[in-house]
Amino acid sequence: MNTGNLMYEWKDIPWRKLEKQVFKLQKRIYQASIRGDVKTVRKLQRLLLKSRAAKLLAVRRISQDNRGKRTAGIDGIKNLKPKQRLQLAANLELPKKAMPIRRVWIPKPGKEEKRCSAVLGVSPMSDCIKKRPLGIPTMRDRASQALAKLALEPEWEAQFEPHSYGFRPGRSTHDAVKYLFLSMRRQEKYVLDADISKCFDRINHKALLNKLNTFPLMRRAIKAWLKSGVMEGNKIFPTNEGTPQGGCISPLLANIALHGLEDYIKSSFPKSKKLGNIKEASWQPTIVRYADDLVILHRDLEELKKAKNLAQKWLNKMGLEFSLTKTKICHTFYEYEGNESGFNFLGFTFKQYPLGKRNRRKVAGGGYSRDALHKTIITPTQDSIKRHKDKLSQIIDGYKTATQEKLIGILNPIIVGWANYYSAVNSKEIFGDIDNWLYIKLRRWANRRHPMKPKHWIANKYWNVDSLGKWEFSEGNIPLKEHKKTPIKMHINVKENRSPFDGDWTYWSTRRGKHPGLRPILAKLLRTQKGRCAHCKLNFTLEDVIEVHHIDLNHKNQKYNNLQVLHGHCHDRKH
């Protein structure tokens, strides 16, 4: 199709109008899925797939919004010009066959498995242990996957279990953390800290397609993407199982594959049971899943083992199993079978500590409540703290000759981002410890630059006294951010059955403005702009890329009247 015959140039497309059209269709799909009206869901999905608005939005998402847009697949295409985007959107449809994906390797955080090194006969620090495979589809396949996701996601968001938090719009790690805290704050419990072994690589294709239960066109396209194969170097390897990580639809397919696990386990447990003086008590396990990470809590050890066996039985149907090295049973308050009390989940440590007699809660008739002998405290894991310190240390050691202003400019975003992520838990003491450690590193950095100068001269050159009379590492009016100055604010958990597709923008924009991982400057600008982009005037959705725009183009001018928050694509257009 000749792009010259199209109605609009790329820069003149009325995006606000198109987004409203697509969202109205998605909202109707969501509502029909809640009602169980499958016929209407399929009809609306076909309508959306044929919509020119949806095709244009899918192309914009993979060519402008996606931050990994410059990574090429086997077609070698890294970027699309406006005319190429229009051409792609005009001819976009779900494919019958898909091109193989290109495999690249990315660093894998965390500890290496000794078992793997023993089997492969390599060092634990070798590249094959420290990296994980990532599959990069071609640009056309990425666009068609984004189009399919626009149609599938609202249908499944209406069905997903309430305590599944990974890779879903409007949900985050902080929601999973808060729900776990609420479920264990009153009682000590046994914990199954489970990890599904190679979840993305071993999902059974036939079982996944049967669970999708979609119309033939969509089924054929998803099967084509699953069976497309992987190209590494000049060799092509078949993909007979798994959903390759890297495509925009892969996280959704993984969530669909694991959907039903929570309901299956809970259906085998009574909702309530008589316990001594307590007439009725909840006897169902607490189940929280974030992608392939799973945590199950129960007050009774035998019941927890029963839940583990049920989970393993259910996973076998999808071709999955628990990792032998990463799955363990522990207790939130006591040591169990050599495992220390507490557990790690999503970069947080959950642990219960004993209370003194003055802080215990008494019960009627005298004595203390067994549920009030402890206090639940959540902190960053030691691995997270170590990785953060290593990153800061690497930057300081790598910028020995850089100016102080440049060093501060590089350190500040890292400090603010890490501190904000952990600002919803008990991190104040840890923040102070990291600041003390960072002060020693910076003193060494400064002393190394001026070995012949006295210590007080170096201190006066690099440290200034702030308005409160405290010393801060600063250059002019640009101080180094401190972890301990980040306020600790409890996160408000997402309501179980809410979804961005319900259209309640007041609820969702308010949540976004208060999210712990959001930079303070972004949060303030979002409140000022009432959750809308300053350029296109559309509400920010939970999957949008938000960037700060400097009106006078001077990045050193950080005054609020010089800043705006824009969509990533709107920011590109501004420049």
**How much is the pLDDT for 179?**
93
* Four-CA torsion 393, 394, 395, 401, nearest 10 degrees: 100
User: What pLDDT, on the 0 to 100 scale, is given for residue 372?
Assistant: 60
Contact 400, 449 (CB under 8 A): yes
Q: Which residues, including other chains, have CB under 8 Å from residue 314's CB and lie 6 or more apart?
A: 260, 261, 264, 265
For the segment 376-419, what is each residue's pLDDT rounded down to a tens digit? 999 999 999 999 999 999 999 999 889 999 999 999 999 999 99
Residue 355 has pLDDT above 60, yes or no: yes
Could you give the CA distance from residue 492 to residue 467 in angstroms, rounded to a whole number? 33
Residue 148: C-alpha distances to residues 67, 210, 245, 317 (Å): 20, 17, 17, 26
- Residue 230's DSSP bridge partners are 101, 237
Q: Is 185 helix (H, G, I), strand (E, B) or coil?
A: coil
Q: What is the pLDDT of residue 127?
A: 41
Lowest mean pLDDT among 186-200, 210-224, 440-454: 186-200
Lowest mean pLDDT segment, chosen from 17-31, 57-71, 77-91, 295-309: 57-71
The two tokens of residue 273 are: 């049971």
With 60 as the cut, is the pLDDT of residue 111 above it? no
pLDDT at site 133 = 77
Average of pLDDT values for 30-43?
Answer: 95
Q: Which of 192-201, 505-514, 515-524 has the highest mean pLDDT?
A: 192-201
pLDDT at 56 over 90: yes
Q: How high is the pLDDT of residue 195?
A: 87
Fold for domain 161-204+241-380?
Answer: Alpha-Beta Plaits (3.30.70)
301 is written with which tokens? 């050890």
Q: How much is the mean pLDDT over the chain?
A: 84
Going by pLDDT thresholds of 50, 70 and 90, the confidence category of residue 522 is confident
Query: What pLDDT does 102 receive?
Result: 85
Provide the CA 514 distance to its chain's centre, in angstroms. 16
The Cα 166–Cα 288 span in angstroms is 10
Q: What is the pLDDT of residue 117?
A: 36
Boundaries of every domain in the chain: 15-109+131-159+213-229, 161-204+241-380, 386-484, 500-572
pLDDT at 120: 32
Position 41 pLDDT exceeds 90: yes
Residue with tokens 């959704």: 252
Q: Which of the given ranges, 322-326, 448-452, 473-477, has the highest pLDDT on average? A: 448-452
- Range name among 29-33, 68-72, 79-83, 555-559 with the lowest pLDDT average: 68-72
pTM for the predicted model, two decimal places: 0.84
Distance CA 171, CA 295 (A): 17
pLDDT over 50 (residue 113) = no
On the question of pLDDT at 129 being above 60, the answer is no
H-assigned helices in 76-188: 82-90, 114-120, 127-130, 139-157, 173-184
DSSP 196: B
Residue 158: pLDDT over 80: yes
Question: Does 45 or 65 have the greater pLDDT score?
Answer: 45
Q: What is the pLDDT of residues 254-307, one digit of tens each?
A: 999 999 999 999 988 877 665 555 545 557 899 999 988 899 999 999 999 999
What is the rounded distance in angstroms from the CA atom of residue 187 to the CA atom of residue 283?
13
Q: Which residues are paired to 134 by β-bridges? A: 104
First to last CA, the chain: 30
